[in-house]
């Protein structure tokens, strides 16, 4: 009897010790503090340069190197200098050129990239992974190595300084990135829905247009944003192949002239950079809702 009682007591104590937590749980306020601290660090790290660019853009030229971390000596003169053509700064025309070049690059890259990525992800054929490897290698090819052959080619065929001389090289860099992103997205899609649409009488084209594209909306808009930003920020090739009539904003800012001669126009350059960055932010915010809508539209009810 004593042995059985001692065993029962030991089992009870052992079960109680097993129910104890291994360590002291973290307080909820501490978890929240760590989360918001991490978010704050990321936001400051990412938006800090843009904030300082905005502060300098609205600062008077005489106080360019003022280190005050908030706006002081606020003026609109820098933006007037940016859009003034008195010193040969055709910044407004450069903005239109960038929109045209980036828009055409994005449209062509998406039209070709969607069908190419769909084929690479959906179809089975020999050498598929080799093709995808070549696509990835093309996206990492240094653009500076293409300047000399492209300059000679476009000069010989009379394309130097034209829009096609800027759009075609941008497509060669944006298209591989688009294909690579969309292939990974298409590969994880539920192909059973496409097969179900075909069983219900839809043609392959209808199944692709009515089923696959709505489900792929998040990936398509993400790839479109990446392609647009890639073309918008391109400078190396555009600086050699553009003319005064077709130069994008990246080239226009690099050759910027301020209100005073022989003085580097830092505040005007910051104002031009601020104007160039705002459309990208607006575009990302606008497409963010489309991405969320695409995720919602891709939901499948059981």
Q: Find the radius of gyration of the CA atoms of the chain.
A: 28
- Classify the C-alpha dihedral 147-82-105-156 as positive or negative: negative
pTM of the model: 0.78
What's the fold here for domain 88-255? MetI-like fold (1.10.3720)
pLDDT at 292: 57
264 band by pLDDT with thresholds 50, 70 and 90: confident
Number of residues written out for the chain: 302
Note the pLDDT tens digit of each residue in 39-51. 899 989 988 888 9
- Cα–Cα distance measured from residue 124 to residue 111, given in angstroms and rounded to the nearest whole number: 21
300 band by pLDDT with thresholds 50, 70 and 90: very low
Note the pLDDT tens digit of each residue in 180-232. 888 888 887 888 888 888 888 888 888 888 888 888 888 888 888 889 989 99
Q: DSSP character for 149?
A: H
Residue 74 bridge partners (DSSP): 59
Contact 252, 266 (CB under 8 A): no
Of the two residues 56 and 14, the one the predictor is more confident about is: 56
* CB count in 10 Å sphere of residue 74: 10
* CB count in 10 Å sphere of residue 134: 11
Calculate the average pLDDT of the chain: 82
Alpha carbon separation from 104 to 101, 247, 286 (Å, rounded): 5, 15, 19
Average pLDDT over residues 144-161: 91
Cα dihedral 165/166/168/169 (nearest 10): 110
Query: Could you please report the per-residue DSSP string of 264-282?
Result: --HHHHHHHHHHHHHHHHH
pLDDT at 302: 43
Domain ranges in the chain?
88-255
Q: Where are the alpha helices (DSSP H) in 200-248?
A: 204-207, 213-215, 217-232, 238-241
Residue 59 bridge partners (DSSP): 74
Note the pLDDT tens digit of each residue in 283-298. 777 776 665 554 444 4
Cα dihedral 191/194/198/201 (nearest 10): 160
């Amino acid at each position: 009897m004593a042995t059985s009682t001692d065993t029962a007591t030991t089992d009870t104590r052992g079960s109680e010790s097993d129910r104890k937590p291994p360590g002291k749980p973290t307080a909820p306020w501490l978890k929240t503090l760590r989360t918001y601290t991490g978010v704050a660090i990321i936001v400051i790290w990412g938006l800090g340069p843009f904030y300082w660019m905005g502060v300098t853009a609205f600062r008077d030229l005489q106080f360019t190197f003022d280190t005050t971390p908030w706006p002081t000596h606020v003026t609109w003169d820098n933006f007037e200098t940016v859009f003034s053509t008195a010193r040969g700064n055709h910044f407004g025309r450069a903005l239109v050129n960038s929109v045209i070049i980036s828009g055409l690059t994005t449209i062509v890259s998406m039209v070709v990239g969607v069908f190419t990525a769909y084929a690479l992800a959906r179809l089975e054929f020999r050498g598929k992974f080799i093709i995808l490897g070549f696509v990835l290698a093309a996206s990492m090819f240094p653009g500076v190595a293409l300047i000399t052959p492209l300059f000679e080619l476009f000069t010989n065929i009379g394309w130097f300084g034209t829009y096609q001389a800027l759009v075609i090289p941008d497509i060669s860099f944006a298209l591989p990135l688009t294909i690579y992103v969309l292939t990974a997205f298409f590969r994880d899609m539920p192909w059973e829905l496409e097969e179900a649409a075909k069983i219900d009488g839809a043609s392959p084209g209808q199944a692709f247009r009515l089923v696959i594209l709505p489900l792929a909306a998040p990936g398509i808009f993400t790839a479109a944003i990446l392609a647009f930003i890639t073309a918008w920020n391109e400078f190396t090739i555009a600086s050699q192949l553009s003319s005064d009539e077709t130069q994008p904003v990246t080239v226009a800012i690099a050759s910027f002239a301020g209100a005073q001669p022989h003085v580097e126009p830092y505040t005007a350059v910051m104002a031009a950079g601020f104007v160039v960055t705002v459309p990208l932010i607006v575009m990302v915010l606008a497409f963010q809702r489309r991405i969320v809508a695409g995720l919602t539209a891709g939901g499948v009810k059981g």
